[in-house]
Amino acid sequence: MESASGLLARGPWDPARVEVSWREEPFQAPANAVEAADLALDALRDRGSPSHDGLAARLASYTSSGERLELELQPARWALRLIPHDAARSISALCIVRAADGRWLAGRRAAWLSSWAGRWALGAGGAIEVDENPTHTLGRELLEEWSVQPERMRVEALVLLPSGVVLLVGQAWLAAGASPVPDHEHDEFAWWPADVERWPVQADEPLRRMGRLLSRSA
């Protein structure tokens, strides 16, 4: 796999065409990574986060084609994703949410969260649980964070962030009239215009890049 951050694979793929296998053996992080994860978790708890450590998923390998995405995942310590520059390819699912008229659902994330704290983000996202299919994670996070279910969904991309976290990006469309209800992880939310160039100033450049990327396949 590529060592630099960026786009690893580009769909879109139907969720049914995303094939997932799991290694039985958990990932063994080197001692310096274990220490860094411990320190990052302590810092997170010191600022009031109720985060609990455990096992989640990392991306061991992948292959992609025009019709299919194959992911090999492996159990790994959740706290490894907190390491700023070497998150061991811990993988999360990011579900970008669109209204029936094309608007984008954005929420400001609470200050206690482990990622993007106090910043605006698109849709819903979270760690993939052990033995979970990441396409199911997309719908689960959407329901948990916004209390809505998609009318349709597709998987858009596999992205490697500079931190070493991998995102499986999905895009979901809600039925006309659907009314999201934010959970405790958000202290404010808004519908941003369908045209990314008309987004408000709180939409930072990474969000705009994501919006432009997905707009090209809408």
Helix H or strand E encompassing 192: strand 186-192
Domain region containing 67: 6-215
Domain count, the chain: 1
Q: Examine residue 160 and state whether it is found in any structural domain, yes or no.
A: yes
- Over range 79-102, report the average pLDDT: 95
- Examine the pLDDT at 174 and tell me if it is beyond 90: yes
More confident residue, 190 or 49: 190
pLDDT of residue 199: 98
**pLDDT bucket at 162, cuts 50 / 70 / 90:** very high
Q: Examine residue 89 and state whether it is found in any structural domain, yes or no.
A: yes
**Residue 108: which CATH number?**
3.90.79.10
- Examine the pLDDT at 2 and tell me if it is beyond 60: no
Q: Examine residue 1 and state whether it is found in any structural domain, yes or no.
A: no
For the ranges 34-38, 60-64, 96-100, 116-120, the lowest mean pLDDT is seen at: 116-120
pLDDT tens column, 181-214: 999 989 999 999 999 999 999 999 999 999 999 9
User: What's the CA gap between 163 and 123, in Å, rounded?
Assistant: 20
Contacts of 49 by beta carbon, 8 Å cutoff, 6+ apart: 112, 113, 114
Backbone angles phi, psi at 16, to 5 degrees: -70, -15
